[in-house]
Structure 1
Amino acid sequence: MNLSKTDQDTLHNYHTQADREDNITRIERQAIKELINNIILKPADKGSETVILDKHQYTYEANRQLSNTKYYVPIGNSLQPQTQTTLRRIIQTLYDKRHITNKQRDFLFGPDTPPPRLFYLLCNIHKEPETWTIPYEVPPGRPIVSDCNSESYNIAQYIDHYINPLSTRHPTTSETL
């Protein structure tokens, strides 16, 4: 979109005027930046609250969970390349046997270079504060590993597309009570 010289001048003057009418000082703006760099904002695990947590406390809880070798085992390298190769081989076999179309195959292949999965926590602030990781200070977190845009993400979407309608074809618990 091309703006006329008059529109460009009006836009420039608006931003210049808005900059002059800033309602916070440079020191206040710097304090906000420092605050943003030192806190984590996440939705709570349950309910509609937002949790504001000191970054060090959040990291403490994440490290506490990740160091529990009952649930997490450190690996040397990402397994994504091997997983992607295996999945693509299976998908190609489905295509070769004409179980899926080339459009479905291309969709199921997913991205050529998937991003690494991301680990994060949703805080369980509904738990009694005296039972928190650090009582009244650091709530336990529900671990989440984001699969968005991974090598298997499109496969999950594809399966969900076919399974989801089936979920409405059976009686629910509330209907049977």
Structure 2
Amino acid sequence: FVPTPHFNKFGWIKDLNLFARKLALHVFKEKKKEREAKNLGVSSEDYVHLENILALLDECPPDASNFFTQFRHKIKFTPSFSDFSNIEVFVNLVTSEIESIKHKDLCWESNLSRYEQRALKELQDVRNIVIKQSDKGGNLVIMDIKDYVTMCMVHLNDREGYRLLESDPTSLFSKKLETLLVQGEQLKIISTTNQTFLLPQYPTIPTLYCLPKVHKSLTLPPGHPIISGNNSLTERISELVDHYLRPLVLDTPSYVRDTQHVLHQLSQIQVPP
């Protein structure tokens, strides 16, 4: 169930240009490879193999090369659409079509009545409840804000798992992470570009939230604590660790991919009567 969206002319044109940028970057890279292949006197097909050979000679295999490009800031370069006539014509034509659309031409009837729209607005303004997904079952749970805070504090008050800090240790941890990354760059484990990417300049402090375990209690459910580390100091370095651990995890005897994998594994087991 989704309320009927409003026409956003700016959003449409923005998405169009982002899509065209991807096309232009792809063509730009292909043309760059064609020029390099021509300068070396080889075909475009052979140039791909030549890249792999050069990477091996540099003791940097193709997978390692992909690793170096994976952990770096996204490029902000945008080729000029005028360099690619077909892309420029496409963008101009579609932009012109979007600009010509009038709000009155879009006769989209709202799928919400005025009463439902007012109720939705009032619900957004409510501050004494918390709406969360349940820990299991995918149910929607509406809790009083006081009960939710109490549920979270049960975990934070556990002094075996948590302790109160006298100050924010982010700057201290940031210096330690920087030291490790500098060592990694000096040992040629990562590149200078990787080092810059893996050390966030303005990290946010991870936050704790809980998912109510309504399968255990409907009145005062215990909470499943989750630490959200989005944009935190260790988010990018954890991706680096995951890059190395992922192939190892796949080889462990206890690894299962999903439910279908479990069912397949069980089908191979003969259980005596």
Q: 1:58 offset after TM fit, Å? A: 0.6
For the residues of structure 1 that align with 2:153 and 2:118, how far apart are their CA atoms? 34
Deviations, residues 9-51 of structure 1 (Å, cap 9, x unaligned): x215758x868x961248645533344x332222222232232
RMSD over aligned Cα, in angstroms? 3.1
2:194 is the counterpart of 1:101:
no
For the residues of structure 2 that align with 1:12 and 1:76, how far apart are their CA atoms? 59
For the residues of structure 1 that align with 2:96 and 2:145, how far apart are their CA atoms? 44
Q: 1:57 offset after TM fit, Å? A: 1.3
For the residues of structure 1 that align with 2:163 and 2:211, how far apart are their CA atoms? 21
Aligned partner (choices 67, 90, 96) of residue 180 of structure 2: 90
Secondary structure at the residue paired with 1:120?
A: strand
- The structure whose residues are more often strand, as a share, is 1
Which amino acid in structure 2 is aligned with residue 164 of structure 1?
R
Q: 1:114 offset after TM fit, Å? A: 0.2
Q: 1:81 offset after TM fit, Å? A: 1.0
The answer to whether the Cα contact below 8 Å between 1:124 and 1:142 also exists between their aligned partners in 2 is yes
Greater Rg, structure 1 or structure 2? Answer: 2
For the residues of structure 2 that align with 1:5 and 1:108, how far apart are their CA atoms? 40
Secondary structure at the residue paired with 1:121?
A: strand
Alignment of 1:149-160 (within 5 A): 149-160=231-242
In structure 2, runs of 5+ residues without a counterpart are 1-12, 14-94, 256-261
For the residues of structure 1 that align with 2:233 and 2:164, how far apart are their CA atoms? 20
Aligned partner (choices 40, 44, 48) of residue 134 of structure 2: 44
Q: Structure 1 169/67 Cα, relative in aligned 2: closer, same or farther at 3 Å?
A: closer
Q: Structure 1 95/59 Cα, relative in aligned 2: closer, same or farther at 3 Å?
A: same
2:114 is the counterpart of 1:32:
no
Aligned residue in 2 for 1:139: 221
Deviations, residues 74-98 of structure 1 (Å, cap 9, x unaligned): 1122111110111111110111222
Secondary structure at the residue paired with 2:143?
A: strand
For the residues of structure 2 that align with 1:74 and 1:49, how far apart are their CA atoms? 33
The answer to whether the Cα contact below 8 Å between 1:117 and 1:146 also exists between their aligned partners in 2 is yes
For the residues of structure 2 that align with 1:29 and 1:47, how far apart are their CA atoms? 25
Higher relative contact order (CA 8 A, sep 6+): 1
Q: Structure 1 46/30 Cα, relative in aligned 2: closer, same or farther at 3 Å?
A: closer
- Number of residue equivalences: 165
Q: Structure 1 39/96 Cα, relative in aligned 2: closer, same or farther at 3 Å?
A: same
Aligned residue in 2 for 1:116: 205
Identity of aligned residues (%): 22
Aligned residue in 2 for 1:132: none
For the residues of structure 2 that align with 1:155 and 1:33, how far apart are their CA atoms? 36
TM-score by length of 1: 0.76
The answer to whether the Cα contact below 8 Å between 1:41 and 1:51 also exists between their aligned partners in 2 is yes
For the residues of structure 2 that align with 1:107 and 1:41, how far apart are their CA atoms? 35
Secondary structure at the residue paired with 2:242?
A: helix
TM-score by length of 2: 0.52
